[in-house]
């Protein structure tokens, strides 16, 4: 499809919607921007930009008639695929595509796709740093923050796009023959893991996993598909796609891929041609076995993309994990405070609990994503959890499960997130003893009290200031 002159409707004017709108206008498309918010709630300057560029505006509803009058519909990942406007468009064979899928279709260089329930951002950051160290031309985009459509005009055929991809984004990759462009192709695709998440959007974990597995459908036999050997939930899709296979985790004899030794002090790689590589983890700083798994996957991705072994080892020694991911904040009166606000599902909380050797006071709660919390109570058999502070809309649900196995304090209120977090930190500190760790690892989304997990994490960090002088790393 030639975009010039085509009627394109964009649903959702978040970061990706705004980026793709700008690119589509530059291609000569007739663009309509649709968002559920009233115009006075749109990002500053966007309405004026639309007016200046003759872009149509639709507010408060994604109208069926608007979509049916379109040649193409581009959807932001937060928009549910089941809304009436999109169902009507599909029945009329009008192409529906996500911002990332559309941009990937027009990207001329190689694509690296990274998906999974947890660890996507850390793995994407590692690949980005390794390629940067090796002077391999590339961009980092996708769910990590920068929309790929904002970068299309800057790349060449040699520029690799390293993409963090959520299930919401994969939902809008083309599944039918009505896609009017060359489908995206991932030269390398990695699936890190699968755990219950977003069950407020998906019927069950199988349908959620099916969304993730779609990444392997956009590969050819000469490409590489990388999978976590230790995650049994991925076995359902072990034969998905046509690409060559590599694995990471605790590898079996003769299986090509990357994995740590039993001491967790080295990562060994065996390539399909039986050549071996070894990487030293003595200076590796991120906590937890899960981060070693992320690293193993990142090494495979980076080496396949052209990074040398020396560049990889250099990044291993210097890499720091992103904020709000099991981030040590401060020690005060012998108590360590950890910000793991990015832990928005139960699986990531369990990983955090495994990674801390101290007795823990857990701060948990927020807005439900449809999960069962029973496994957190089961975690007391392995981790020493001294008690829990439960907050947010799910406070009562957590209290019901956790109070059977540990002391629980409920902090009420969702109107003032900072105030609630300050009180939660205060209560956690009263439960903790010198040598303990206070861990914010919510197992929920932040949207009941905060704009995002970053704001929630900063509220936690700010609250700790009230308990002594400290310096953040």
What number is the average pLDDT over the span 166-172? Answer: 97
Q: How far is CA 448 from CA 369, 418, 438, in A?
A: 12, 12, 22
How does pLDDT run across 84-129, given as a tens digit for each residue?
Answer: 999 999 999 999 999 999 999 999 999 999 999 999 999 999 999 9
Q: In this structure, are 164 and 312 located in the same domain?
A: yes
How does pLDDT run across 202-236, given as a tens digit for each residue?
Answer: 999 999 999 999 999 999 999 999 999 999 999 99
pLDDT band at 177 (very low <50, low <70, confident <90, very high): low
Structural domain span for residue 85: 7-94
pLDDT number for residue 175: 83
**216 token code pair:** 């392997």
How does pLDDT run across 156-167, given as a tens digit for each residue?
Answer: 899 999 999 999
Unique residue bearing structure tokens 């994407």: 124
Contact 97, 79 (CB under 8 A): no
- The answer to whether residue 472 is domain-embedded is no
pLDDT band at 278 (very low <50, low <70, confident <90, very high): very high
How does pLDDT run across 239-273, given as a tens digit for each residue?
Answer: 999 999 999 999 888 999 999 998 999 999 999 99
Q: In this structure, are 79 and 109 located in the same domain?
A: no
Contact 131, 305 (CB under 8 A): yes
Res. 301: pLDDT tops 80: yes
Element (H, E) at 470: none
Distance CA 282, CA 324 (A): 23
The pLDDT > 90 percentage for the chain reads: 92
Res. 471: pLDDT tops 80: no
Q: Which one, of 216, 232, 235, 236, lies nearest residue 224 by Cα? A: 216
- The answer to whether residue 448 is domain-embedded is yes
pLDDT number for residue 220: 97
Where does a domain end: 94, 111, 145?
Answer: 94
Query: Does the pTM of the predicted model rise above 0.75?
Result: yes
The pLDDT > 70 percentage for the chain reads: 98
Q: In this structure, are 71 and 110 located in the same domain?
A: no
Report DSSP letters for 24-62, one per residue: HHHTT-EEEEEESS-GGGSPTTHHHHHHHTT-EEEESS-
How does pLDDT run across 20-50, given as a tens digit for each residue?
Answer: 999 999 999 999 999 999 999 999 999 999 9
Residue 288 per-residue DSSP state: S
190: β partners: 114, 226
- The answer to whether residue 473 is domain-embedded is no
Radius of gyration for the alpha carbons in the chain, expressed in angstroms and rounded: 23
Q: In this structure, are 219 and 274 located in the same domain?
A: yes
> Domain tally for the chain?
3
Element (H, E) at 398: helix 395-402
Contact 227, 245 (CB under 8 A): yes
Distance CA 44, CA 144 (A): 22
Res. 469: pLDDT tops 60: no
Q: In this structure, are 116 and 22 located in the same domain?
A: no
pLDDT number for residue 274: 94
Distance CA 355, CA 332 (A): 20
Following CA atoms 233, 312, 159, 157 in sequence, which dihedral angle do they give, to the nearest 10 degrees? -90
- The answer to whether residue 88 is domain-embedded is yes
- The answer to whether residue 2 is domain-embedded is no
**67 token code pair:** 């979509």
What number is the average pLDDT over the span 408-412? Answer: 96
Element (H, E) at 388: strand 385-391
Which residue stretches of 96-182 are H helix? Answer: 99-106, 120-133, 167-170
How does pLDDT run across 315-325, given as a tens digit for each residue?
Answer: 999 999 889 99
Where does a domain end: 34, 61, 94?
Answer: 94
Q: In this structure, are 307 and 332 located in the same domain?
A: no
pLDDT number for residue 178: 67
Unique residue bearing structure tokens 């070693």: 292
Helix (H, G, I), strand (E, B) or coil at 90: helix
pLDDT number for residue 180: 86
Instruction: Give me the phi and psi of 72, to 5 degrees please.
Output: -155, 140
How does pLDDT run across 38-84, given as a tens digit for each residue?
Answer: 999 999 999 999 999 999 999 999 999 999 999 999 999 999 999 99
Q: In this structure, are 185 and 299 located in the same domain?
A: yes
CATH number, domain at 391?
3.90.190.20
Q: In this structure, are 231 and 153 located in the same domain?
A: yes
Where does a domain end: 276, 295, 318?
Answer: 318
Distance in Å from the first CA to the final CA of the chain: 50
pLDDT number for residue 130: 98
Distance CA 276, CA 231 (A): 24
263 Cβ contact list (under 8 Å, min separation 6): none
pLDDT band at 6 (very low <50, low <70, confident <90, very high): very high
Q: In this structure, are 88 and 116 located in the same domain?
A: no
Q: In this structure, are 170 and 24 located in the same domain?
A: no
pLDDT number for residue 466: 78
Q: Hey, what long-range contacts does 416-419 have (CB within 8 A, 24 or more apart)?
A: 416/449, 417/449, 417/450, 417/455, 417/456, 417/459, 418/459, 418/462, 418/463
- The answer to whether residue 115 is domain-embedded is yes
Q: In this structure, are 433 and 368 located in the same domain?
A: yes
Distance CA 97, CA 349 (A): 33
- The answer to whether residue 125 is domain-embedded is yes
How does pLDDT run across 362-395, given as a tens digit for each residue?
Answer: 999 999 999 999 999 999 989 999 999 999 999 9
CATH number, domain at 222?
3.40.1190.10
- The answer to whether residue 453 is domain-embedded is yes
What number is the average pLDDT over the span 335-364? Answer: 96
Q: In this structure, are 382 and 424 located in the same domain?
A: yes
Q: How far is CA 268 from CA 261, 446, 464, in A?
A: 7, 38, 40
How does pLDDT run across 125-158, given as a tens digit for each residue?
Answer: 999 999 999 999 999 999 998 999 999 987 889 9
pLDDT number for residue 470: 43
pLDDT number for residue 68: 98
400 Cβ contact list (under 8 Å, min separation 6): none
């Amino acid at each position: 499809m030639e975009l010039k002159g085509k009627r394109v409707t964009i649903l959702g004017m978040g970061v990706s919607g705004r980026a793709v709108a700008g690119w589509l206008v530059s291609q000569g498309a007739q663009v309509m921007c649709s968002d559920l918010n009233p115009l006075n709630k749109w990002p500053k300057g966007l309405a004026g930009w639309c007016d200046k560029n003759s872009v149509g505006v639709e507010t408060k509803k994604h109208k069926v008639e608007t979509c049916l009058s379109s040649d193409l519909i581009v959807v932001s990942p937060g928009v549910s695929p089941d809304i009436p406007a999109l169902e009507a468009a599909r029945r009329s064979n009008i192409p529906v595509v996500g911002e990332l899928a559309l941009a990937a279709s027009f990207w001329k260089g190689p694509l690296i796709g990274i998906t999974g329930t947890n660890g996507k951002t850390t793995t994407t950051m590692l690949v980005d740093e390794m390629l940067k160290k090796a002077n391999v031309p590339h961009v980092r985009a996708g769910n990590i923050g920068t929309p790929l459509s904002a970068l299309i005009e800057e790349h060449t055929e040699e520029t690799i796009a390293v993409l963090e991809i959520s299930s919401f984004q994969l939902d809008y990759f083309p599944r039918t023959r009505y896609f009017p462009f060359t489908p995206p192709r991932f030269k390398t695709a990695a699936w890190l893991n699968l755990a219950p998440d977003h069950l407020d959007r998906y019927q069950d974990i199988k349908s959620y996993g099916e969304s993730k597995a779609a990444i392997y459908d956009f590969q050819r036999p000469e490409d590489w598909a990388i999978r976590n050997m230790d995650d049994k939930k991925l076995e359902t899709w072990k034969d998905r796609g046509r690409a060559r296979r590599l694995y990471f985790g605790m590898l079996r004899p003769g299986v090509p891929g990357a994995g740590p030794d039993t001491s967790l002090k080295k990562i060994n790689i065996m390539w399909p041609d039986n050549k071996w590589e070894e990487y030293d983890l003595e200076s590796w700083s991120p906590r937890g076995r899960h981060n070693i798994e992320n690293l193993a996957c990142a090494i495979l991705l980076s080496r396949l993309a052209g990074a040398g072994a020396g560049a990889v080892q250099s990044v291993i020694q210097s890499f720091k994990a992103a904020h709000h991911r099991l981030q040590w904040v401060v020690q005060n009166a012998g108590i360590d405070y950890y910000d793991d606000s990015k832990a928005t599902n139960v699986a990531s909380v369990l990983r955090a609990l495994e990674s801390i050797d101290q007795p823990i006071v857990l701060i948990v709660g927020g807005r439900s994503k449809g999960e069962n919390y029973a496994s957190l109570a089961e975690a007391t058999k392995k981790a020493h959890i001294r008690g829990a502070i439960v907050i947010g809309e799910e406070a009562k649900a957590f209290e019901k499960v956790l109070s059977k196995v540990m002391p629980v304090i409920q902090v009420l209120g969702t109107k003032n997130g900072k105030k609630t977090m300050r009180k939660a930190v205060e209560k956690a500190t009263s439960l903790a003893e010198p040598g303990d760790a206070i861990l914010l690892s919510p197992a929920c989304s932040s949207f009941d009290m905060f704009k995002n997990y970053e704001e929630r994490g900063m509220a936690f960090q700010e609250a700790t200031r009230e308990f002594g002088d400290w310096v953040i790393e």
